[in-house]
Amino acid sequence: NAGVMQNPRHLVRRRGQEARLRCSPMKGHSHVYWYRQLPEEGLKFMVYLQKENIIDESGMPKERFSAEFPKEGPSILRIQQVVRGDSAAYFCASSEYRDRGRMANEKLFFGSGTQLSVL
Amino acid sequence: GEDVEQSLFLSVREGDSSVINCTYTDSSSTYLYWYKQEPGAGLQLLTYIFSNMDMKQDQRLTVLLNKKDKHLSLRIADTQTGDSAIYFCAESTGSFGNEKLTFGTGTRLTIIP
């Protein structure tokens, strides 16, 4: 059972270009989370998605950033018109679905991350 | 707001115990976690503790939680070279459980032979 797969591992973009980061969750997982790690900082929550739905995007900048998790295919984190401050490691995590009434302890499984460098 | 703090570096001799400390601010945290990140890899969940517990032991790992002081620690007994990694403390603040985690900056553990 493959783990959470992210690609590319490294992505270099010039200012103003678009960055597309992909995440394939673990088999059987229907929840995807994106986190960002800026240099010398901890991981910061960005967005939480289920298939075709954004559940919580409170950590995502309102402009230039968008995320989707279509019915088929990987989850995509898209950053338009990148700036130097977007340079960071972007981590995706997935978990399996559980009923809300059950004790909440969904284990998050993380991918190896995409290192985005903006020149 | 939520904040989780850790010291950045820790060096320990092989065979000794490592103690990694973490403080957090959100008193409504339900779960607290320790993750391990090895070079080039994703974060691996090591252990977690529910907020109404004060201790949890899992083989070489012992987690202590002082809820009054909002202090969490991870003790690794008989530290080995394979324990070299960055260790992240995290707390759960999401309304559905642990989906929205707040992480510390990570503590880089170096093992001295």
pLDDT tens digits, A22-67: 999 998 888 899 999 988 778 899 999 998 899 889 999 999 999 9
Given a contact cutoff of 8 angstroms between Cβ atoms, the answer to whether A5 and A24 are in contact is: yes
Find, in chain A, the residue whose alpha carbon is nearest to that of B100.
Answer: A45
Choice between B36 and B26, residue whose per-residue pLDDT is larger: B36
| Contact at CB, B100 and A59, closer than 8 angstroms | yes
Interface A–B counts its CB contacts (< 8 A) at 71
Per-window interface: B 12-71 vs A, CB < 8 A: 30-31, 35, 40-45, 48
pLDDT at site A104: 44
Give A86's pLDDT tier (boundaries 50, 70, 90): very high
User: Which residues in chain B are closer than 8 Å to A3, comparing Cβ atoms?
Assistant: 42
* DSSP 3-state of B26: coil
pLDDT the model gives residue A97: 64
What local confidence, expressed as pLDDT, does residue A41 receive? 78
pLDDT average, residue stretch B44-55 = 89
Q: Do B42 and A91 touch (CB under 8 A)?
A: yes
Strands (E), chain A: 5-7, 10-13, 19-24, 31-37, 43-50, 53-56, 65-68, 75-79, 88-95, 109-110, 114-118
* Mean pLDDT calculated for residue range A89-94: 94
Given a cut of 90, is residue B40 above it in pLDDT? no
pLDDT (tens digit per residue) in B54-66: 999 999 999 999 9
Q: Tell me phi and psi for residue B41, to 5 degrees.
A: -120, 165
B97 touches chain A (CB under 8 A): yes
Token pair listed for A77? 């984190």
Residues B105, A109: C-beta atoms closer than 8 Å: no
Residue B40: closest C-alpha in chain A:
A112
3-state SS, residue A86: helix
Q: Rounded CA gap, B71 and B58, in Å?
A: 19
pLDDT at res. A21: 98
Q: Is cis: bond before A8, omega within 30 of 0?
A: yes
Residues of A in contact with B36 (CB under 8 A): none
The half-sphere exposure of B33 on its side-chain side, counting CA atoms within 13 A, is 25
Contact B42 A42 (CB under 8 A): no
